Amino acid sequence: MKISIEKARVDKVKAEMVVVSVYEKDKLPGGEAGDLDKVLGGKIKDLIKKGDFKGKLSETTVIYTWGQIPAKRILLVGLGKRDEMTLERVRQVAGKAGTRIRGLGLKSFVTAIPETGKKLGFSQVSQAVVEGTLLALYRFRQFKTKEEDKTEIDRVTIICREPKKITEVKKGVELGQIVAEAANWTRDLVNLPGNELAPQRMGQEAQKMARQFGLKCKVLGLAEIRRLKMNCLLQVAKGSRQPPRFIILEYPGKGKRLKTVVLVGKGITFDSGGISIKPSARMEEMKYDMAGGAAVLGAVRAAAQLNLPFRIIALVPATENLPGGAAYKPGDILTSSGKTIEIITTDAEGRLILADALTYAQRYRPEAIIDLATLTGACIIALGHEASGMLGNNRRLLDRLKKAGEESGERVWELPLWKEYDELLKSEVADLKNVGNRSAGVITGGAFLGRFINKTPWAHLDIAGTAWVDKGKKYMSAGATGVGVRLLTRLFQNWAKK
Ligand code: BES
Ligand code: ZN
Ligand code: ZN
């Protein structure tokens, strides 16, 4: 989609549709809506007075202008209460405007930036407008052979009437577009079903993207995975006809003497549970079990486009988890970096392949390691779909992630990683087992991973509840959300400033 910025006024701009916003309880429309109201002889004010438009969050009304101004139509969008305004609400409102206009069959629109006062920052609000719009307009339709409704919006013009603010708006818009497009790239990958996206294809997609953005990408096959003794990845992959892959994507970073950060993402392209097979209800959702892997690839893409001053490496162990004559079994004992692991259930496969990847990550001697994984159903029980679970060994890193989460709209919530929890992973026959009992499922998942980290600052994000939505939610359409891309990009941006 083409997004452009124009120094223009709403009452002068030519457009199929121009979007302006109004706060709930405002008697007089402010900002750009106020400008329009004057030109239209108080019509907007009248709508509000009569109670036909209340300005409630995400409320919309189309007004025809009948030639009174160059724009053919106006979309009024409600911002909700003024003192409740947040960047997340800006995204939501922008998303709503975009989908409403697409629903009308229009292909382009012009939008003003909601007036939010100084608090949120002009550039950030512009960024949120673009993010909300692009994320909301995303749809996954590769497999629809009959085009039900064809319209796609291909052009959005953002207008700003104050010349002083235009540089800030530009900055925000550019950022928003890069981040949202990276997230949508990730969503495309995550949404692909298991038959389309097996480990091999995941590797190819990473390489294709790397070529496009001038990044280094190595995809290791069976022989190299064997040579590196990634025994857990090999064992999990045994049940599948599809050979595993280990993806290494590197962005060298812009600048001198850069910090290295390694991102690790779970890349189970389909998780049946293996021999410990899952119940069939909603098993199809396990096509999303590589969301962590796709997110770390997308985050590197965004970081590269933004020229961020970090060397960032994404590692993705990719395999299917299937039952079969060759599959690994409950009771098996595997080894990863010298530790023996008793398999209690083959459905706790993510932590196994991540153990190998986390071990590999430490050879870069990174400043930090962050892993993302749809690791436990228990995370959905604990936090629902509003936040990703977070655990780790380094206060500063966790605090940075928390802040980045709040700002990006991809919140995280920390759970403790006290050493007492290690008890739950004690095995009678091996160094540890791959699951505890039913208690503290998210934490034991994290505790297991923590056993494969030496001293490096590390954070684990359990994205089981946030990687996809079954029904559209706020500015997210149903399916993969691309969670992690916005969070990690924000983390690096903030970190770079200090
Ligand atoms: N991929 C699943 C976790 C999952 C389940 C994510 C549902 C999103 C929705 C993971 O591999 C798994 O099966 N975990 C087990 C762990 C348990 C055996 C300790 C789970 O959550 O049941
Ligand atoms: Zn599983
Ligand atoms: Zn899984």
pLDDT for res 228: 98
| Ligand 1 in reach of 385 Cβ (< 6 A) | no
- Average pLDDT in the chain: 97
pLDDT for res 151: 87
> What residues have CB less than 8 Å from 294, skipping those under 6 apart?
186, 189, 190, 202, 265, 267, 480, 482
Tell me the mean pLDDT in the region 62-67: 96
Amino acid at 310: F
3-state helix/strand/coil string of 136-195: HHCCCCCCCCCCCCCCCCCEEEEEECCHHHHHHHHHHHHHHHHHHHHHHHHHHHHHCCCC
User: How far lies 88's CA from each of 77, 92, 159, in Å?
Assistant: 15, 6, 21
pLDDT for res 473: 94
Class of domain 180-497: alpha beta
Q: CATH second-level architecture of 2-162? A: 3-Layer(aba) Sandwich (3.40)
- The ligand that comes nearest to the alpha carbon of residue 462 is 1
Tell me the mean pLDDT in the region 274-296: 98
List the domain boundaries for the chain.
2-162, 180-497
pLDDT for res 47: 96
Ligand 1 atom at minimal distance to the Cα of residue 378? 21
Cα separation, 388 vs 383, whole angstroms: 7
pLDDT per position as a tens digit, 368-393: 999 999 999 999 999 999 999 999 99
Contact 297, 206 (CB under 8 A): yes
pLDDT per position as a tens digit, 134-177: 999 999 999 999 877 778 999 999 999 889 999 999 999 999 99
Say what the pTM is. Answer: 0.98
Ligand 1 atom at minimal distance to the Cα of residue 441? 19
Tokens, residue 117 = 């006062």
pLDDT for res 27: 87
- Active site includes 164? no
pLDDT for res 498: 73
- In this predicted structure, the answer to whether residue 464 has a pLDDT above a threshold of 80 is yes
Query: Rounded to the nearest whole angstrom, what is the distance from the C-alpha of residue 267 to the centroid of ligand 1?
Result: 13
User: How far lies 329's CA from each of 229, 321, 345, 346, 408, in Å?
Assistant: 19, 12, 8, 6, 41
Query: Rounded to the nearest whole angstrom, what is the distance from the C-alpha of residue 115 to the centroid of ligand 1?
Result: 43
Backbone angles phi, psi at 256, to 5 degrees: -110, 155
* Ligand 1 pocket test, candidate residues 283, 376, 483, most atoms within 8 A of CB: 376
Residue owning the nearest CA to atom 8 of ligand 1:
464
- In this predicted structure, the answer to whether residue 402 has a pLDDT above a threshold of 80 is yes
Burial class (CB in 10 A: 0-12, 13-18, 19+), 242: middle
Query: Rounded to the nearest whole angstrom, what is the distance from the C-alpha of residue 197 to the centroid of ligand 3?
Result: 15
